[in-house]
Structure 1
């Protein structure tokens, strides 16, 4: 049976060592849509991805990447690295999204900005936060959320420095455990930040255990584009967030 491919095309910019963003995007893709990827360089594969490296990725020249992804005539272009923009703060994140939209001629959402869109849709202002980042990026992530009016009441660090492949190697069970550490009685939701962490696979299990919504970077990007273009929810898309569509 031939699949329906008459819906919008979604372009995604993905760091070149990221191995989990693409399968997540394809699994969550709204019916009829297709997802198209362009890989980003601009960082050292052998370095621990600390704040300097991620900030450098966010500030790197992506004009050629945008020229290439624009070839599929996407309705939206997603910037698929959360830490690359939150390390710079809210203003940079918004300006990058605007620049991508201008150069691509498409709607644009960053991963970090999509987290805020998702939390706003859920009317969440207090969260537990977890990620596989090194500590200084987590500090910057909490500051970024605070700039957007979101208070982190509990934070769970991974407890060790993970390389560019180590973040993506965490299992869904490890992500589940990290989410439980991030929970707090005052947290209205759990935020799992990082497009290369296998958070989407753990959403349903975490929500069942904690009884509160989970918002992840990749899930939030699909939600943002679905909300903006009035797209239907994929039948297998996990999480209370998609009930807001």
Structure 2
């Protein structure tokens, strides 16, 4: 008998991610059932500020990453930057999707912000509480993006971090406490933004504690990749969002093994 070697026989997810970031890949692999693989191209983020994000999005590296990643036999390409895709509102995110589609014509396309809105709709969220690690300028744009898409932000908190590597160093326990603190009676769900900010290991515990859906940018991105690929490919234990998309033993078996 051969051992499973990580082959994406259910779905191959392509991810454009920040060069200095580490969280999104590991969290996607943690949530991925056997047969779902993640393949990454990286771009440089100078600083987690409005100016730094704009510099990244205007650099030629973005197109190069999309074209290189699109040359691989992937099923879905996800742009893994939440703030970078909501920076200038919904129209900006839609325009980014169109650019990515032009640069990588083979796979289906999504972004962290597109996935977030789809995930909030899937859990039937209305008003939300918002937790981010961002500086004030980026955090306010997150609020604007959510509210222009029908999700009033009734409670929120941000940590004011402007260095990408520092985002990943926030302990999961602190993020858990942060979400518990911002939960609000009028919030129908909690959204945790930023793809280099740990979250998925605490989602099940948070949903049990507060009794409502918790959606994070990484979780939503992975979920939406599975959704648009049309596969059940999630391990159990990562939130209500994955209802119906958890892998069933025996389904999607790789006949090549």
11, 15, 18: which is aligned to 2:18? 15
- 2:125 equivalent in structure 1: 124
Normalised to the residue count of structure 2, the TM-score between the two structures is: 0.88
Shift of 1:229: 2.0
| Structure 1: stretches of 5+ with no match in the other structure | none
- Between stretches 72-81 and 189-198, larger displacement belongs to 72-81
- Distance in 2 (alpha carbons) for counterparts of 1:237 and 1:162: 31
| Structure 2: stretches of 5+ with no match in the other structure | 246-257
Could you tell me whether the CA contact under 8 Å between 2:11 and 2:231 is conserved in 1? no
How do 1:1-245 residues align onto structure 2 when only pairs under 5 Å count? Answer: 1-3=2-4, 5-41=8-44, 43-44=45-46, 47=47, 49-61=48-60, 62-105=62-105, 106-158=107-159, 160-243=160-243, 245=245
Segments ≥4 residues shifted beyond 6 Å:
none
Shift of 1:182: 2.0
Q: Secondary structure of 2:243's partner?
A: helix
Shift of 1:181: 2.2
Q: Secondary structure of 2:69's partner?
A: helix
Shift of 1:55: 2.7
Q: Secondary structure of 1:143's partner?
A: helix
Could you tell me whether the CA contact under 8 Å between 1:156 and 1:182 is conserved in 2? yes
- Distance in 2 (alpha carbons) for counterparts of 1:59 and 1:85: 12
- Between stretches 63-72 and 215-224, larger displacement belongs to 63-72
Normalised to the residue count of structure 1, the TM-score between the two structures is: 0.92
- Distance in 2 (alpha carbons) for counterparts of 1:7 and 1:101: 22
Shift of 1:237: 4.7
Q: Deviations over 1:108-156 (max 9, x none)?
A: 1111111101001111111000110001111100101112111111001
Could you tell me whether the CA contact under 8 Å between 1:27 and 1:237 is conserved in 2? no
- Distance in 1 (alpha carbons) for counterparts of 2:66 and 2:80: 13
Could you tell me whether the CA contact under 8 Å between 1:233 and 1:242 is conserved in 2? no
Alignment root-mean-square deviation, CA: 1.6
- Distance in 2 (alpha carbons) for counterparts of 1:129 and 1:69: 32
Size of the alignment, in residue pairs? 240
* Structure possessing the higher radius of gyration over alpha carbons: 2
